[in-house]
Amino acid sequence: MTNVVDTLIVGAGISGLSLAHALQKQAKTAPPLKILVAESQGRVGGNITTQTDGGFLWEEGPNSFAPTPELMKLAVDVGLKQELIFADRKLPRYVYWQGKLQPVPMTPQAMIQSQLLSFPGKLRALVGALGFVGPAMGSQLSQQGGEETVSQFFRRHLGTEVMQRLVEPFVSGVYAGDPQQLSAAAAFGRVTQMADVGGGLVAGALLSARKRPKKLPVDPNIPQTKPGELGSFKQGLKALPEAIAAQLGDRLKLNWHLTRLQRTERQTYIAEFATPDGQQQVEARTVVLTTPAYITAELLAPLQPEVSSALQAVTYPTVACVVLAYPLSDVKGKLVGFGNLIPRGQGIRTLGTIWTSSLFPDRAPAGWQTLSNYIGGATDSDIANLDPEQIVGEVHRDLSRILLKPLAAQPKVLAVNLWKRAIPQYNLGHLPRLQQVENGLKSLPGVYLCSNYVGGVALGDCVRWGFERAIEVSEYLQETGHRA
């Protein structure tokens, strides 16, 4: 017997769960929707992977979140208000440059005093920020479809030093990407829009602030946060997807692997699943695919080859998350801060290290320091060829140069998680590809995409996009009069 629903959500990562929650909330003010969330794995959360062992608590995927309004509302809605924890936003962030950890300047005064940039580098950044920049190189842009790379954009606007010492490590930390391949407009859309306003980044920022819509009235039930704070939950990030899953109840199906999606003459969609109980069919008025681009491409190939082709072009580099613990006696001084990033060219293979047990409480037993390290990415594809012991050796060697005392003991290895396809790359051509996808989906009314290759890779972006897609899905169902 075919199960008939209004909305089928494929994937129970944070995007799919946020969407499902938003649709449920709308049901309180409208006839309830019949929704079904199907997840191929035996757990919810997608890349969110919280683990515990022997008094340690760590993450093997995303490590924290910026407390966006949508994410905070979601956390409160599912009963996690008292579980929220926040790192002190005043904690410094560091860049390892020329053998030293240098604090990242977060204010104009800190920029002036910073030893991370030379005086000429600071002057170049100031002049560029005020709008004294040259035009983009036309010949290169024509070869790149009119797009600037992240490297080209920031070198032109703020100079080589800012690009190499600040932007490049940031790109490594967020995207594990290559700034010479990433599209500035796709990866740093707000920044490029400021520049497009005219008059430089400073003037653009001021104009953007004036045009920003007025803030909504403060909801007293939602904790108020400040820019620069990072959040998590007392029991780790997995608390959020698990809380949403608990509210979904039997509308969530685990170990349901989507094998085929086809369209019917009734303008609905039949989804076939391989499940622990055998083959299952679901007929849906709307389908939201929250799967990675490469999986979505396979699912849509029979229905819309043009969309499938565009999605196949989205690349995902390999990244290893290596969580190591050391006795405090082996660490150089007390680590106070968020962590450190490492620009390429410093003789260090690791992309960056989060000082996990310094960031949030109760992440390690007394006397221990937990360090979450990330290695690989778009500029180091060879990491995929190493075994876990070799990867640990590379990271330990790097930490010995940066954070550990001489002759530090071998670490307690908590995790080596090799993400074969980690983070979608917003490379040159990404925005035109998304436009190609949007155009192609017009021939498949009722099919939507909601994943981190569309609306941003951060957790807050995924939640926001889930909320926005829920509105679109609900409006479509109301307009077409489709009800299960």
What whole-number distance in Å separates Cα of residue 150 and Cα of residue 145?
14
- Asked whether residue 161 is assigned to any structural domain, the reply reads yes
- Asked whether residue 102 is assigned to any structural domain, the reply reads no
Q: What is the pLDDT of residues 342-352, one digit of tens each?
A: 999 999 999 99
Does 307 share its domain with 322? no
- Greatest pairwise CA separation for the chain in angstroms: 72
Does 438 share its domain with 452? yes
Burial tier of 30 (Cβ tally within 10 Å: 0-12, 13-18, 19+):
exposed
Helix (H, G, I), strand (E, B) or coil at 365: coil
What whole-number distance in Å separates Cα of residue 286 and Cα of residue 4?
11
What are the beta bridge partners of residue 9? 37, 288
Does 162 share its domain with 248? no
Which domain, by its residues, includes 176? 115-211
Check which CATH number belongs to the domain holding 248 and give it.
3.50.50.60
Check which CATH number belongs to the domain holding 155 and give it.
1.10.3110.10
In the chain, the N- to C-terminal Cα span, in Å, equals 15
pTM reported for the whole predicted model: 0.93
| Total count of domains within the chain | 3
Does 402 share its domain with 443? no
Given a cut of 70, whether residue 141 has pLDDT beyond it is no
16 φ/ψ angles, rounded to the nearest 5 degrees: -65, -40
Does 324 share its domain with 383? yes
Q: Residues 146-156: what's their mean pLDDT?
A: 94
Given a cut of 70, whether residue 28 has pLDDT beyond it is no
Identity of the residue numbered 416 = V
260 φ/ψ angles, rounded to the nearest 5 degrees: -160, 140
- pLDDT at position 168 is 97
- Asked whether residue 14 is assigned to any structural domain, the reply reads yes
Q: What DSSP element (H or E) covers 129?
A: helix 119-129
Which of 372, 352, 373, 370 is CA-nearest to residue 361?
A: 370
Does 143 share its domain with 75? no
Does 446 share its domain with 305? yes
Does 206 share its domain with 129? yes
Given a cut of 80, whether residue 183 has pLDDT beyond it is yes
Given a contact cutoff of 8 angstroms between Cβ atoms, the answer to whether 312 and 421 are in contact is no
What whole-number distance in Å separates Cα of residue 158 and Cα of residue 129?
6
Q: What is the pLDDT of residues 207-228, one digit of tens each?
A: 776 766 666 567 888 888 888 8
Residues 6+ apart with CB under 8 A from 479: none
Most confident of 15-24, 133-142, 196-205: 15-24
Taking the C-alpha atoms of 44, 50, 53 and 55 in order, what is their torsion angle to the nearest 10 degrees? Answer: -130
Check which CATH number belongs to the domain holding 391 and give it.
3.90.660.20
Does 327 share its domain with 397? yes
